[in-house]
Structure 1
Amino acid sequence: MYPTDLTDSAWQVIQEILADKRKRKYSLRAILNALLYLTKTGCQWRQMPNDLPPWPLCYYYFWKWRNEGTWERLNKSLVERRRQKAKREASPSVGVIDSQSIKCSEWGVVPKGYDGHKKVNGRKRHIIVDTLGLVLVVVVHAANQHDSPAARAVLTRLAGQGYERMNKILADSAYGKKLARWLKRSYGLLLEVVKVSELAGFQVLPMRWKVERTFAWMNWSRRLSKDYECGVNSHESFVYLSNINRMLKHF
């Protein structure tokens, strides 16, 4: 038993969503436990404990569900259930967007770039969260891309998720008026920039602090402390896994 193992109630929720009853030598619950362990501890695939399913099998399911979009669908289903458990509407009406630059551990991987503002050579993970801080979508790209043009890929992915109540996106000043016009014209969503007041010193911005808190939560998953993946799709999947693990604590 590991602290990351699924509880019976959490596994029951996952079972209902996956609806996969095929018999296997290693159960899906055991495989998910292994992937949650990997996400939390940040260990290498080949360094996984021997009492977990074989690492090639775990990697196969991680890779398969990544390519099939299973992690995104599972994340969306759990977001809706988590919101309902918090007595909210299943579909959020407000999203908060931001990006975080992180270092890459691999040499020569693409896409990769240098963020001159944060002094980081690596990638950015661009996320949109709801007002509970739950990750709705994530896109990983080179760190040298400016937030405003790169945000189009994130917002396009959000539009494809089917959150029918979504009508407003909160952002900081890095996202300009050109993006706001594109978002309104393309998807009918309002982009609202939360501005910093002229007062000196640290300020907690209304609603914007929730996406910053989510980035802090991500650091609890050591696999996300640095970008260890060659492909951006794999890093996005680990962001979803980290979010899934956090939500399952409430079931």
Structure 2
Amino acid sequence: MYPTDLTDSAWQVIDQILADKRKRKYSLRAIFNALLYVTKTGCQWRQMPNDLPPWPICYYYFWKWRNDGSWERLNKTLVERRRQKANRHASPSVGVIDSQSVKNSEWGVVPKGFDGNKKVQGRKRHIVVDTLGLVLVVVVHAANQHDSPAARAVLSSLARQGYERMSKILADSAYGKNLADWAMKSFAFILEVVKVSELAGFHVLPMRWKVERTFAWMIWSRRLSKDYECGCSSHESFVYLSNINRMLKHL
């Protein structure tokens, strides 16, 4: 038993969503526990403890669920359930967008770049969260991409998730008017930008702090302390896994 292992009630939720009753040598619950262990501890696949399912099997399911969109679908379903548990509408109407530059541990992999503002060589994880701080969507890209053009891929992915009430996105001054016009024309999203320069002294920007809190929550999962993945989609999957693990504790 590990602290990351699913409780019986948490597994019932996951099992109901996955709805995969095929017989296999290693149970899906054991495999899911192993993936949560890797996410939380940050260990290498080949360094997984021997009492967990073999790492090639765990990696296979991680890869399979990454490529068929299962992580996104599972995350969306749990977001809706978590919001209902908090007496909110299942579909959020307001999102908060921001990015975080993280170092990349691998050399010779693409895409990656240098963020001149944060002085970080690596990638950016670009997220939209709801007012509870739950990750709605994540897109990972090279750190040298400016937030405003890169956000088009983020908002496009958010639109594909199917949150029917989503109408307003809160952003900082890194996102310009061109993006706001594009978001309104493409998806009817209202992009509301709050500029720090318009405020006198230090202020906690309304709602904007919630996305920063989510970035802080991510670091609790050591696999996300850096970008250890060769592919951007794998890092995105670990972000969803971290978010899923956090939501399961409140269902």
TM-score w.r.t. structure 2 length?
0.98
For the residues of structure 1 that align with 2:144 and 2:172, how far apart are their CA atoms? 18
SS in structure 1 at match of 2:161: coil
For the residues of structure 1 that align with 2:213 and 2:135, how far apart are their CA atoms? 11
For the residues of structure 2 that align with 1:177 and 1:94, how far apart are their CA atoms? 19
Letter in 2 for 1:226: K
- The equivalent residue for 2:58 is 58
- The equivalent residue for 1:198 is 199
For the residues of structure 1 that align with 2:4 and 2:194, how far apart are their CA atoms? 36
Residues 171-182 of structure 1 mapped to structure 2, 5 A cutoff: 171-182=171-182
Letter in 1 for 2:149: P
Q: CA deviation at 1:185?
A: 0.5
For the residues of structure 1 that align with 2:205 and 2:87, how far apart are their CA atoms? 25
Q: Does 1:9 align with 2:19?
A: no
Letter in 1 for 2:161: Q
Q: CA deviation at 1:200?
A: 3.0
- The equivalent residue for 1:99 is 99
Q: CA deviation at 1:204?
A: 1.3
- The equivalent residue for 1:126 is 126
For the residues of structure 2 that align with 1:9 and 1:137, how far apart are their CA atoms? 25
Letter in 2 for 1:200: G
Q: CA deviation at 1:8?
A: 0.5
- The equivalent residue for 1:84 is 84
Q: Give 5+ residue unaligned stretches, structure 1.
A: none
Q: Give 5+ residue unaligned stretches, structure 2.
A: none
Q: Does 1:161 align with 2:132?
A: no
Aligned alpha-carbon RMSD (Å): 0.7
Does the 8 Å CA contact 1:194/1:206 hold for their aligned counterparts? no
Q: Deviations over 1:183-212 (max 9, x none)?
A: 0000111000122243234x3110000000
Q: CA deviation at 1:245?
A: 0.3
Letter in 1 for 2:68: E
Q: CA deviation at 1:25?
A: 0.8
Q: Does 1:243 align with 2:243?
A: yes
Q: Deviations over 1:159-190 (max 9, x none)?
A: 00100000000000000100000000001110
For the residues of structure 1 that align with 2:199 and 2:231, how far apart are their CA atoms? 41
Q: Deviations over 1:34-92 (max 9, x none)?
A: 00000000000000000000000000000010000100000000000000011100000
Q: CA deviation at 1:108?
A: 1.0
For the residues of structure 2 that align with 1:22 and 1:250, how far apart are their CA atoms? 28
Letter in 2 for 1:165: R
SS in structure 2 at match of 1:212: helix
TM-score w.r.t. structure 1 length?
0.98
Does the 8 Å CA contact 1:115/1:144 hold for their aligned counterparts? yes
Letter in 2 for 1:198: L
For the residues of structure 1 that align with 2:127 and 2:188, how far apart are their CA atoms? 20
Q: Which moved more, 1:191-200 or 1:166-175?
A: 191-200
Runs of at least 4 residues of structure 1 off by over 4 A? none
Q: Does 1:183 align with 2:183?
A: yes
Does the 8 Å CA contact 1:116/1:144 hold for their aligned counterparts? yes
SS in structure 2 at match of 1:76: helix
Q: CA deviation at 1:23?
A: 1.1
Letter in 2 for 1:67: N
Does the 8 Å CA contact 1:103/1:120 hold for their aligned counterparts? yes
For the residues of structure 1 that align with 2:194 and 2:83, how far apart are their CA atoms? 24
Q: How many residues align?
A: 250
SS in structure 2 at match of 1:230: coil
- The equivalent residue for 2:44 is 44
For the residues of structure 2 that align with 1:198 and 1:45, how far apart are their CA atoms? 47
Does the 8 Å CA contact 1:95/1:166 hold for their aligned counterparts? yes
